[in-house]
Structure 1
Amino acid sequence: MLKIGFCINSLEMGGAERLLVDIINALYETKDYEIHLLTKIKSNSYFYNLIKNKVKYSFLLEKKAKGFFAKTRESILKKINFKKFSNEVDIIIDFLDGDFFSYIRKVKDKEKIIWLHLSYETLKVRKHVDEKLSAYNKIIVIADDMEKELFKARKDLKNIYKIDNFVDYQEIDRKLNEAFKLDFDLKQKYFLTVCRLAEEQKDVKTLIEAYALYKGEEKLVIAGDGPDRKMLEDLCIKKDLKDKVIFLGMVDNPFHLMKNAQAFILSSKVEGFGLVLVEALYCGTKVISSNCPTGPSQILLNGEAGELFEISNVKELLNKLEIIADKEYKKDKIEETLTRYTRENFKKNFRKVIEC
């Protein structure tokens, strides 16, 4: 049985962390892999508890140490614990854009894979990924545009592979069958966005500014939390939208909200992929998305399965809000998207890359 080790900073709430949980669940089903998981600090999070019986779990540090010599002790302990982890697996997967590069580059006798979740140009700036790629035997990207971009920018790399992300449709069905527990009237008309409220990436400000110009009766529902929530709430007060924009905070099960929304909106400046768009389409909801890198144009088939607008373009987003009620999309186009991002396709594509 092949022993695969995934490395990720943490298992706290986040899109990549949630995706890794889904991947581990999918691979566990196959019974073909022994799955190991490494985080930088010991986790007992909600995500960890979803998979704790399916992985062999280890961590670099149990908790952050305090004291004058703490950094030296921590550095030694991290190296020891990473060595133990690497000795136990056949393949090491640096799951989130090369965050474990400083450890993995020193490993000589294992296959090493980096999994990229943002565009190459974005990661060059944010994580200096350009310097890291040659240390890995295989590079996994998650979107057609990412693959094209990387091939064009780094013609020296011959080890690039694409694996589509996937949506667990059965899990959505299960959650739609659960009772709706929020104090919210699903019969009212509303637009919905679900995201972490962090403006560097998500750009909910553009959505609020477009909505402030919108004359329709729909309310705007924002599900999610994050460091910029207060700034966005203050913006709504400034725009006299306090009674029209509803901040729900973190929502464990957003699928009832998705299913009943007039439209789902993604206003991001950049996305790892934007699987939330696939989830909304599966719920039967119309979708409006910024045409950001990477994923939305691929998911929405360049506008055939939903609306695309220029990043941070308030007027263009306003226009999409105004026309979405009258838009119709061909069922076969929606089905084309939903069929591509299945659990079974992921398992098949993963096996091809791992075993080649």
Structure 2
Amino acid sequence: MSLRKEKLTFVLKSLNYGGIERLAFNLLNFIAQRQDLSIDLVVGWGKGVYEQEIPDNVRTIDLKIHLENRIKSYISLTDKLTKYFAAENPNYIFSYLPIANICSAIAWSLHHQSSKLILIEQTLLFNDLVKLQGYRHSVKSHLKDNTKNSLFSITLPLAMKLWYPQVTAVVSDSLGLARGIEKGLNLKPGLIKTIYNPVIDKKVPIALEDSIAHPWLTSPQAPVFISVGRFAPQKDHFTLIQAFFLLRKKRPAKLIILGDGELRKQIENLVDELNIRSDVDLPGFVKNPYPYLKQANTFVLSSLWEGLPTVLIEALASGCQVVSTNCQYGPDEILENGKYGWLVPITDTSALSKAMEHSLESPIDRTLLKQRANYFTVKRAANEYLQLVGLSTE
């Protein structure tokens, strides 16, 4: 009779396209190659683009809950997770649930605590977002949209402060975010562990070789800047476009922004107001940005906040020059305080424009950029997560 394999459970909000989901699947696909583990993927809503990427040896449990910022949905999630933990008794649990990680912690404690529960946090706390609202009115809109029930702003930090010290470990994706969570919740320093995101794997060289047909990149007539990200308040594309406008006054240049979202119309309006439509392209969402990054001169991140921006690592892996706001959190750690790219204050249009120009005039050796990206491998991250729960590593 064969012995029962130990069970590892991943808990995700949904299978929709998103940065957290992409990173979770990078880790899931790597660990699923092991023969000594039985793996479950528990999702709040089991329909989405990543449904086709679930490994054959991973069982999916769809809880059929649309996670919205309503107390009812979180009560339902906690109830279903409690029943799942009791029935399946997983040995290890990796929970990727912004805000709802607390549901995993409560369900885990109500079942029993023989499982090892790892909560993975990759976003700013509510109070950190509040501090940013003085910089950009759009951040206020973002906060309003994501905290419709004011109870979250009061109860969530209290619940995190109560439950987070009790679980096996809480992991953030940057040192800055770890310290920010500890300070924001008044937790013991060092309680939050840091494991950098699993980004680089054997698929990256293949993705880099995909062909693209964008004329600005295949037959360049001027330097090309590129940005990748949702058209959302967090990404602050308004500062990027205004910085590009200042640079465009000095020299020919092009700007491509890959992505889509709620602010597309406002971004298009700004491009038209500045009369730079012929030099700015907004082609929409692109599943594989690597060939664009490979061909562009400089990648620009203009975000107001991040956790550990994956796209910065992807840009480095492509050998692309990088300019980034020095936002909370992550860019300073990825770029080692400016060693591998240019860092500027958030919302500073002039500083961003000057850094973009410097990236063209004094580029960093592409080999060094690629070497830095190779620090953020899926294998490294997977081994650190496995070590955290006491499992053997490669």
Same fold (TM over 0.5): yes
Q: Map residues 4-15 of structure 1 onto 2, 5 A cutoff.
A: 4-15=8-19
Residue of structure 1 equivalent to 2:225: 191
Residue of structure 2 equivalent to 1:303: 338
In 2, are the aligned partners of 1:213 and 1:318 still within 8 Å (CA)? yes
Q: 1:299 to 1:314 in 2, by over 3 A?
A: same
1:207-265 CA distances to partner (integer Å, 9 max, x unpaired)? Answer: 01111111321111011111111110111111111111100101112111101111001
Residue of structure 1 equivalent to 2:242: 209
| Partner SS for 2:235 | coil
Corresponding letter in the other structure for 1:60: L
Shift of residue 152 of structure 1? 4.6
Q: 1:78 to 1:114 in 2, by over 3 A?
A: closer
Residue of structure 1 equivalent to 2:293: 258
Q: Map residues 228-307 of structure 1 onto 2, 5 A cutoff.
A: 228-307=263-342
Residue of structure 1 equivalent to 2:93: 92
Q: Map residues 124-143 of structure 1 onto 2, 5 A cutoff.
A: 128-136=156-164, 137=167, 138-143=169-174
1:54-79 CA distances to partner (integer Å, 9 max, x unpaired)? Answer: 42111222789xxxxxx99x899756
Corresponding letter in the other structure for 1:235: L
Q: 1:220 to 1:75 in 2, by over 3 A?
A: closer
Q: 1:79 to 1:286 in 2, by over 3 A?
A: closer
1:321-341 CA distances to partner (integer Å, 9 max, x unpaired)? Answer: 221112243678536622321
Residue of structure 2 equivalent to 1:118: 123
In 2, are the aligned partners of 1:8 and 1:99 still within 8 Å (CA)? no
In 2, are the aligned partners of 1:133 and 1:139 still within 8 Å (CA)? no
Which has the higher mean CA deviation after the structures are superposed, 256-265 or 75-84? 75-84
Q: Map residues 29-178 of structure 1 onto 2, 5 A cutoff.
A: 29-43=33-47, 45-61=48-64, 81-87=80-86, 88=88, 89-102=90-103, 104-108=105-109, 109=112, 110-120=115-125, 121-122=127-128, 128-136=156-164, 137=167, 138-153=169-184, 154-156=186-188, 159-178=191-210
What root-mean-square deviation, in Å, do the aligned CA atoms of Structure 1 and Structure 2 show?
2.8
CA separation in 2, counterparts of 1:75 and 1:329? 47
In 1, are the aligned partners of 2:9 and 2:92 still within 8 Å (CA)? yes
Shift of residue 297 of structure 1? 0.4
Match of 2:262 among 224, 227, 234: 227
Shift of residue 175 of structure 1? 1.6
Match of 2:347 among 287, 312, 322: 312
CA separation in 2, counterparts of 1:185 and 1:348? 38
Residue of structure 1 equivalent to 2:29: 25
Structure 1 length normalisation: TM-score? 0.87
Unpaired stretches in structure 2, ≥5 consecutive residues: 131-142
In 2, are the aligned partners of 1:42 and 1:60 still within 8 Å (CA)? yes
Unpaired stretches in structure 1, ≥5 consecutive residues: 65-70
CA separation in 2, counterparts of 1:53 and 1:123? 39
Shift of residue 135 of structure 1? 1.8
Q: 1:152 to 1:325 in 2, by over 3 A?
A: same
Corresponding letter in the other structure for 1:25: N
Shift of residue 318 of structure 1? 1.0
| Partner SS for 1:132 | helix
Q: 1:194 to 1:170 in 2, by over 3 A?
A: same
CA separation in 2, counterparts of 1:16 and 1:103? 17
Structure 2 length normalisation: TM-score? 0.79
In 1, are the aligned partners of 2:210 and 2:291 still within 8 Å (CA)? no
Aligned length: 347
In 2, are the aligned partners of 1:166 and 1:343 still within 8 Å (CA)? yes
CA separation in 2, counterparts of 1:317 and 1:158? 34
Which has the higher mean CA deviation after the structures are superposed, 251-260 or 166-175? 166-175
1:80-113 CA distances to partner (integer Å, 9 max, x unpaired)? Answer: 6434422322233321334142354143213332
